[in-house]
């Protein structure tokens, strides 16, 4: 068989393959369908539970059975994705209306994971069975082959409420993500009803019914004015706050109690919140906390923070909002699969798509019901007609040799081979002319149906069937009638499944923290050889001066409101707030410099430390290993950032020394080979911190600068080592 060679650009093949993969992930895995608000894995799991007969009023079944059956029949993408979807659909702290009733450990709001699927059990919830799956037997949605074409699965579930808004959705696809907040079921159903009455309503009118998101965790939405823009475009940021109350404690103390958390804090966020609150005390942002305890239970969230007597409670609560995740943002991106492609929709388009879907479901449902009623009418008419001439029919049955002969007589009037009592009966039999369905029903009819009361009941059923046919025909031909049916159904669903709103919508001013004024005092910062830093007051230093000099690698005199700048051999400048360092007794243990700055003692070495207030008033010289030298104005290092580049370095170069370029002082450079060079500070070129500098000393091939020291002309002393000077290293004479 001859083979055909296809020539194509490799880039074109890769592009097409990647686009096919991306669209498959977007449509078949990650994004919900706008009609039922479900991802494929969720839809398949619920349908499989329906097929297994796991009803809300029946016994629970092992989750492993559900997962295995779903994976084998409909979703061959691994058991973890199916079980994860099952778990999320059962969690009432993530869904407004949980779709699965879980039995066992299905995780907690504090981030505890669910137990393994072999330990947990599940069944459909009532809302899923009655609102999502009840009409599947009425041909309301299309069924498509599964992955191996051995089963059929629904392309979409016949959901009768806007699930995509009520339960929201989260998903990450290729190049896009969806994040739809949850909403109150009653409000969303009200919006559907009023939209059907007024399809031309605006987003502003729609928000009279849907006030905003309603999260299962409650909380407060603080940017009410931004919601109109968010719901118009389908994108934006919702600002969330937890709910905080105060309670009186013992001996005049006050308790700050968090009773509701932002939706974004679900899971590990609660543990991080507790750590962040403790860090406020450790970082000296507040001194008002005496105790923290998490008293949350199945009844709800309760995080208690005990404050010291006399604490500014309002300011502390604002500090929680400002410095922790108790105030957070929820990014809204209402992206979903619409007509087979991803699309970002606002509130009105989402409702419009659902209402159109409801009309389609209603049309198909009542078309199916009408056809069934017409079939029933045909059979009922045949049975009533048969009851009126039952003696003749019995004569036909008794005279026929088999069922086929009797059926042929009833349908086509063929009397050949049938023995009748009289010729008159033969002629009458030839005129019956029942339909095939009527004939089958007559032949299957039981004798008790000939009782007088049964015949009356049959006539009553026939009248009811005629009434149903008239009603269904009116619904299918009259848009107003169909609308009324849908609205009545929505009202009954609202009555059954409406819940009280949990999230408050308001405009709240941004939290403002009033920082307590810090009394400015002189102090000394000591850094030991292990990189631990601590502060002591001047009186303590004077009493322990000799020990401080001998035991410390750095002795820096500064104000407690100042910041220290550490210049390292990598050419960086790290800033530390003096207030971040522990202040205490002389023998108290300090705080590692690594913990309060970006300095990493394992990868870089400090070469110069000084208070920022002193640096910005002077010039700083830099000497590198390869002999480059320059000086830079100290004001270039005034920044709020924790780390900046102090000087630019050439490849394989490093900073050897830095210091103040004082008037009447020099820099003494010493190389590894023993060469020395003295340069007046006034002769060093002034350059920006982004410059490399000039060549300060010419080096032999294998030589390098080992150290550089200040030489003070006024005292005839190497000035880089006097511990009495800020930022210096030690002391020695020439």
What does the pLDDT look like over 531-577, one tens digit per residue? Answer: 889 888 888 898 888 888 888 888 989 988 888 999 999 999 999 98
What was the pLDDT predicted at 521? 85
Secondary structure element (H or E) that encloses residue 534, with its range: strand 532-537
Average pLDDT over residues 378-401: 85
- Burial label for 571, CB within 10 Å (0-12, 13-18, 19+), is buried
Of the pLDDT bands very low, low, confident and very high (cuts 50, 70, 90), residue 23 is low
What was the pLDDT predicted at 60? 96
What was the pLDDT predicted at 595? 83
The tokens for 144 are: 């498509």
What was the pLDDT predicted at 632? 92
C-alpha to C-alpha distance for 292 and 310, rounded to whole angstroms: 17
Q: Does the pLDDT of residue 734 top 80, yes or no?
A: no
User: What residues contact 605, with CB distance under 8 A and at least 6 apart?
Assistant: 568, 569
Of the pLDDT bands very low, low, confident and very high (cuts 50, 70, 90), residue 22 is low
CA max distance for the chain:
151
pLDDT digits (tens, 9 = 90+) for 172-199: 876 778 999 999 999 999 999 999 999 9
Phi first, then psi, for residue 313 (nearest 5°) are -65, -45
Query: pTM, whole model, 2 decimals?
Result: 0.75
User: What residues contact 723, with CB distance under 8 A and at least 6 apart?
Assistant: 548, 549, 552, 555, 729, 730, 731
How far is the first Cα of the chain from the last one, in angstroms, to the nearest whole number? 96
What was the pLDDT predicted at 17? 63
Contact 336, 343 (CB under 8 A): yes
Q: Does the pLDDT of residue 723 top 70, yes or no?
A: no
What was the pLDDT predicted at 40? 92
Q: Does the pLDDT of residue 460 top 70, yes or no?
A: yes
Please name which of 269, 271, 311 lies closest in space to residue 289, comparing C-alpha atoms: 311
Lowest mean pLDDT among 14-18, 217-221, 435-439: 14-18
Q: Does the pLDDT of residue 305 top 60, yes or no?
A: yes
- Burial label for 588, CB within 10 Å (0-12, 13-18, 19+), is exposed
Q: How many residues does the chain have?
A: 734
For residue 73, is it left (φ>0), alpha (ψ between -120 and 50) or beta?
A: alpha
Q: Which domains does the chain have, with CATH numbers?
A: 31-157 (3.90.199.10), 243-325 (3.30.1360.40), 363-496 (1.10.268.10), 522-721 (2.120.10.90)
Lowest mean pLDDT among 100-114, 416-430, 460-474: 416-430
Q: Does the pLDDT of residue 689 top 70, yes or no?
A: yes
pLDDT digits (tens, 9 = 90+) for 9-19: 766 667 666 55
Contact 681, 662 (CB under 8 A): yes
The tally of CA atoms less than 13 A away on the side-chain side of residue 62 is 8
Phi first, then psi, for residue 300 (nearest 5°) are 145, 180
Q: Is 324 helix (H, G, I), strand (E, B) or coil?
A: coil
Contact 142, 157 (CB under 8 A): no
Contact 170, 32 (CB under 8 A): no
pLDDT digits (tens, 9 = 90+) for 128-176: 999 999 999 999 999 999 989 999 999 999 999 999 999 999 988 767 7
Please name which of 246, 239, 221 lies closest in space to residue 313, comparing C-alpha atoms: 246
Contact 578, 523 (CB under 8 A): yes
Lowest mean pLDDT among 325-329, 423-427, 647-651: 423-427
From the list 10, 18, 74, 119, the catalytic residue is 119
Average pLDDT over residues 413-436: 85
Q: Is 208 helix (H, G, I), strand (E, B) or coil?
A: coil
> What is the C-alpha R_g of the chain?
41
Contact 503, 213 (CB under 8 A): yes
What was the pLDDT predicted at 222? 94
Q: Does the pLDDT of residue 729 top 60, yes or no?
A: no
What was the pLDDT predicted at 21? 58
The DSSP symbol for 446 reads -
Lowest mean pLDDT among 25-29, 32-36, 222-226, 700-704: 25-29
Q: What percent of the chain has pLDDT over 90?
A: 51
The tokens for 560 are: 């407690």
What was the pLDDT predicted at 326? 94
What was the pLDDT predicted at 96? 94
Secondary structure element (H or E) that encloses residue 611, with its range: strand 606-611
The tokens for 628 are: 């480059």
Q: Does the pLDDT of residue 234 top 60, yes or no?
A: yes
What was the pLDDT predicted at 28? 65
Q: How many CB atoms lie within 10 A of CB 601?
A: 13
Contact 106, 298 (CB under 8 A): no
Q: How far is CA 489 from the centre of its chain?
A: 32
In which residue are the tokens 């990014």 written? 331
Q: Does the pLDDT of residue 733 top 50, yes or no?
A: no
What was the pLDDT predicted at 52? 95
What was the pLDDT predicted at 726? 35
pLDDT digits (tens, 9 = 90+) for 362-383: 999 999 999 999 999 988 888 8
Q: How far is CA 133 from CA 170, 363, 626, in A?
A: 23, 17, 77
pLDDT digits (tens, 9 = 90+) for 84-117: 999 999 999 999 999 999 999 999 998 889 999 9
Please name which of 393, 370, 371, 373 lies closest in space to residue 439, comparing C-alpha atoms: 393
Q: Does the pLDDT of residue 731 top 60, yes or no?
A: no
In which residue are the tokens 């709240």 written? 508
C-alpha to C-alpha distance for 133 and 48, rounded to whole angstroms: 11
Q: Does the pLDDT of residue 717 top 50, yes or no?
A: no
C-alpha to C-alpha distance for 127 and 493, rounded to whole angstroms: 9
C-alpha to C-alpha distance for 716 and 163, rounded to whole angstroms: 84
Contact 191, 210 (CB under 8 A): yes
Q: Give me the chain's average pLDDT, please.
A: 87
What was the pLDDT predicted at 725? 35
- The residue that leads in pLDDT, 15 or 62, is 62
Q: Is 119 a catalytic residue?
A: yes
Of the pLDDT bands very low, low, confident and very high (cuts 50, 70, 90), residue 399 is confident
User: What residues contact 41, with CB distance under 8 A and at least 6 apart?
Assistant: 29, 75, 77, 81, 82, 85
């Amino acid at each position: 068989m001859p083979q055909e060679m296809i020539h194509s650009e490799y880039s074109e093949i890769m592009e097409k393959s990647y686009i096919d993969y991306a669209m498959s992930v977007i449509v078949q895995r990650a994004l919900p369908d706008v009609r039922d608000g479900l991802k494929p894995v969720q839809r398949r799991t619920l349908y499989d539970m329906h097929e297994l007969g796991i009803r809300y009023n029946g016994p629970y079944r092992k989750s492993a059975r559900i997962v295995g059956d779903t994976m084998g029949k409909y979703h061959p993408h691994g058991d973890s994705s199916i079980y994860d979807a099952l778990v999320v659909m059962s969690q009432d702290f993530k869904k407004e209306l949980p779709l699965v009733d879980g039995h066992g450990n299905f995780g907690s709001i504090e981030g505890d994971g669910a137990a393994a699927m072999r330990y947990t059990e599940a069944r459909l919830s009532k809302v899923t069975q009655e609102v999502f799956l009840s009409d599947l037997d009425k041909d309301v949605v299309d069924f498509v082959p599964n992955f191996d074409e051995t089963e059929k699965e629904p392309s979409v579930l016949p959901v009768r409420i806007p699930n995509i808004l009520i339960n929201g959705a989260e998903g990450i696809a290729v190049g896009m993500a969806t994040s739809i907040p949850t909403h109150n079921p009653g409000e969303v159903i009200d919006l559907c009803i009023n939209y059907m009455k007024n399809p031309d309503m605006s987003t502003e009118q729609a928000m009279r019914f849907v006030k905003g998101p309603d999260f299962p965790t409650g909380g407060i939405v603080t940017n009410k004015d931004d919601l109109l823009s968010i719901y118009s475009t389908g994108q934006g940021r919702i600002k969330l706050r937890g709910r905080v109350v105060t309670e009186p404690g013992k001996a005049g103390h006050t308790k700050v109690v968090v009773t509701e958390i932002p939706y974004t804090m679900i899971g590990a966020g609660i543990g991080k919140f507790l750590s962040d609150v403790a860090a406020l005390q450790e970082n000296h942002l507040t001194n008002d906390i005496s105790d923290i305890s998490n008293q949350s239970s199945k009844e709800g969230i309760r995080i208690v923070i005990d404050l010291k007597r006399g604490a500014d409670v309002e300011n502390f609560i604002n500090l929680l909002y400002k410095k922790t995740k108790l105030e957070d943002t929820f990014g809204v991106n209402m992206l979903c699969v619409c007509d087979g492609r991803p699309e970002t929709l606002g509130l009105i388009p989402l409702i419009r798509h659902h209402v159109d879907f409801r009309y389609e479901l209603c049309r198909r449902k009542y078309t199916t019901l009408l056809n069934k009623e017409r079939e029933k009418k045909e059979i009922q008419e045949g049975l009533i007609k048969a009851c009126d001439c039952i003696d003749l029919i019995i004569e036909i049955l008794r005279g026929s040799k088999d069922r086929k002969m009797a059926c042929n007589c009833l349908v086509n009037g063929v009397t050949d081979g049938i023995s009748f009592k009289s010729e008159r009966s033969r002629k009458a039999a030839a005129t019956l002319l029942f339909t095939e369905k009527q004939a089958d029903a007559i032949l299957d009819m039981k004798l008790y149906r000939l009782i007088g009361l049964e015949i009356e009941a049959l006539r009553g059923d026939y009248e009811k069937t005629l009434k149903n046919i008239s009603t269904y025909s009116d619904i299918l031909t009259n848009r107003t009638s169909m609308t009324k049916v849908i609205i009545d159904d929505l009202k009954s669903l609202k009555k059954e499944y409406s819940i009280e709103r949990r999230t408050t919508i308001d405009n709240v001013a941004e939290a403002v923290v009033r920082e307590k004024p810090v009394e400015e005092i002189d102090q000394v910062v000591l850094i030991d050889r292990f990189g631990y830093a601590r502060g002591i007051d001047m009186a303590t230093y004077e009493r322990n001066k000799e020990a401080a000099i001998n035991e410390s690698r750095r002795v820096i005199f500064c104000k407690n409101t100042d910041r220290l700048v550490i210049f390292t051999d990598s050419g960086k400048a790290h800033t530390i707030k003096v207030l971040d360092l522990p202040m205490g007794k002389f023998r108290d243990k300090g705080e590692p410099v690594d913990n309060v700055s970006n300095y990493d003692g394992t990868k870089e070495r400090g070469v110069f430390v000084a208070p920022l207030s002193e640096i910005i008033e002077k010039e700083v010289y830099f000497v590198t290993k390869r002999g480059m030298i320059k000086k830079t104005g100290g004001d270039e290092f005034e920044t709020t950032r924790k780390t900046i580049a102090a000087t630019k370095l050439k490849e394989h170069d490093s900073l050897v020394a830095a210091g103040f370029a004082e008037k009447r002082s020099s820099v003494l450079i010493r190389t590894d080979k023993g060469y020395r060079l003295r340069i007046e500070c006034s002769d060093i070129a002034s350059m920006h911190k982004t410059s490399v500098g000039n060549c300060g000393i010419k080096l032999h091939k294998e030589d390098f600068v080992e150290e550089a020291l200040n030489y003070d002309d006024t005292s005839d002393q190497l000035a880089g080592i006097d511990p009495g000077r800020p930022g210096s290293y030690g002391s020695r004479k020439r």
